[in-house]
Amino acid sequence: MRAKWHYLWGVRGYFEGFKVSRITTPHIQAYIEARQDEGAANATINRELSALKRMLNLGARQTPPKIDRVPYIPMLKENNTRKGFFEHGDYLALKDTLPDYLKGFVTFAYKTGWRVSEINNLTWNQVDRDQGIVRLETGETKNDEGRTVYLDEELREVFNRQWEARKKGQKLLPYVFLNRDGNDKVKRFDKAWNKACKDAGIGKRLFHDFRRTSVRNMVRAGIPEKVAMMISGHKTRSVFERYNIVDETDLKLAAQRQ
């Protein structure tokens, strides 16, 4: 909810001094054009308009109503297709150049597609090392749904190394992935990330690209989409589909299978 109202500040500045009854569709269209002239993306403008619409609707629902009508608010077309992802060779090159404390972190991201906040907040009470299971309980994820992941052999080794590294600190911490000094969980690592991308010669990449990559890899491997969505934590198929990117390799594989 905080993020939604964050978008309202730009709208508020533009319409400051306006009576609510004077906010009409032409005024909103003028706002859209002004934001486009400033270089704002369509997605950003749409989030701002959604916040405005929410505010006006709340006013109309009051008893008595604060406003007598809600004007038509046009929304802009968005290009939601995600394009960034890692080929396996790029991922290996990046992992080789990252500091040791981040290698297991990115391996887990590459294989599961979990969000960065879900990984750096992961604690040992969510891990069953004997059974090779990692769980996020209901309410611990962005979509508020629980999730279970079974670790393959490589990830089992990652978690065993993290368990041993935990013992080297001055005190036992609950987090699975610790920072360089071992005194806290992994937090921001922008500098290390950007340097590793440069040293690996793969260009500028986003950590979120692992999320897209994991989805694509699971589908390529023949994992049913419903199962892939359960692993990566995609709640709706429309969002999942934006991450399920088809490239030339997929088209070649399709031709070979035919």
Look at residue 105 in the predicted model and tell me its pLDDT: 97
107-128 residue pLDDT tens:
999 999 898 989 999 999 999 9
Rounded to the nearest 5 degrees, what angle is found at the Cα of 89, between the Cα atoms of 245 and 149?
60
Residue 8: strand, helix, or coil = helix
What is the C-alpha to C-alpha distance for residues 213 and 55, in angstroms, rounded to an integer? 37
Report whether the peptide linkage leading into residue 64 is cis, meaning its omega lies within 30 degrees of zero: yes
Q: Which residue has the higher pLDDT, 13 or 212?
A: 212
147, 122 contact by CB (below 8 A): no
pLDDT in tens, 42-84: 888 888 888 888 888 988 899 998 888 899 999 888 765 556 7
Average pLDDT of the chain is 82
Asked if 140 and 187 count as a contact pair (C-beta separation under 8 A), the reply is no
Please check the confidence at residue 20 and state whether its pLDDT lies above 70.
yes
Residue spans of the domains in the chain: they are 2-61, 88-257
Res 4: pLDDT: 46
What's the pLDDT at 77?
82
Give CATH for domain 88-257: 1.10.443.10
Any long-range contacts for 42-47 (C-beta under 8 Å, 24+ apart)? 42/76, 42/77, 42/78, 42/79, 43/78, 43/80, 44/7, 45/76, 46/75, 46/76, 46/78, 47/4, 47/7
Beta bridge partners of 91: none
Distance CA 91, CA 85 (A): 9
Strand, helix or coil at 53?
Answer: helix
pLDDT the model gives residue 147: 81
* Residue found by looking up tokens 């969510």 in the block: 126
Tokens for 57, please give them. Answer: 């609707």
Q: What is the pLDDT of residue 128?
A: 94
pLDDT at position 165, please? 86
